[in-house]
């Protein structure tokens, strides 16, 4: 049993740096996707949705990747604190910005946008 545990530990030691790097890269790609969305979407409110990809999944995946590569448990605890802070503050910030826009009287675009509404309807 302890043999198995040691083997598992060694396996983890080998695997954690590649896995952590891959997760960091994936998080960076998610952030880029969020940015592409911010560029492409037509108005303020829809851009907020694209930005929330960067907030939630991008930051979370990068933090998990860094936690895998962390040299000690104390770093993992700190990364957990950062995650918790982001988790609590990012919706508050988004809500503040959107609420400010709504209070200022910015009207959102409503209804289907796009050139071919019948294309790939079932996929969404």
List of residues contacting other proteins (CB under 8 A): 30, 33-34, 36-37, 40-43, 45-46, 48-50, 52-53, 55-57, 72, 74, 77-78, 81, 87-88, 90-92, 94-95, 98-99, 102, 108-117, 119-120, 123-124
Cα separations in angstroms, 78 against 39, 69, 75, 84: 33, 13, 5, 10
**Minimum CB separation from other proteins for residue 59, in Å?**
11
Distance CA 30, CA 8 (A): 30
Half-sphere exposure for 29 (CA within 13 Å, toward CB): 6
What's the distance, CA 95 to chain centroid?
17
For other proteins, the closer of residues 6 and 89 by Cβ is: 89
The owner of tokens 């994936």 is 26
For other proteins, the closer of residues 10 and 95 by Cβ is: 95
Cα separations in angstroms, 25 against 1, 61, 82, 110, 112: 35, 9, 19, 35, 34
Tokens of 42: 């037509």
**Minimum CB separation from other proteins for residue 2, in Å?**
28
**Minimum CB separation from other proteins for residue 13, in Å?**
21
For other proteins, the closer of residues 24 and 55 by Cβ is: 55
For other proteins, the closer of residues 4 and 104 by Cβ is: 104
**Minimum CB separation from other proteins for residue 5, in Å?**
26
């Amino acid at each position: 049993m302890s043999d198995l545990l040691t083997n598992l530990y060694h396996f983890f030691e080998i695997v954690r740096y590649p896995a952590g790097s891959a997760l960091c890269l994936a998080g960076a790609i998610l952030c880029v996707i969020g940015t592409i969305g911010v560029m492409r979407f037509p108005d303020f409110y829809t851009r907020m949705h694209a930005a929330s990809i960067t907030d939630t999944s991008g930051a979370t995946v990068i933090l998990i990747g860094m936690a895998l590569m962390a040299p000690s448990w104390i770093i993992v605890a700190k990364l957990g604190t950062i995650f918790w802070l982001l988790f609590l503050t990012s919706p508050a910030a988004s809500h503040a910005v959107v609420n400010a826009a709504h209070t200022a009287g910015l009207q959102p675009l409503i209804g289907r946008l796009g050139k071919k509404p019948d294309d790939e309807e079932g996929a969404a």
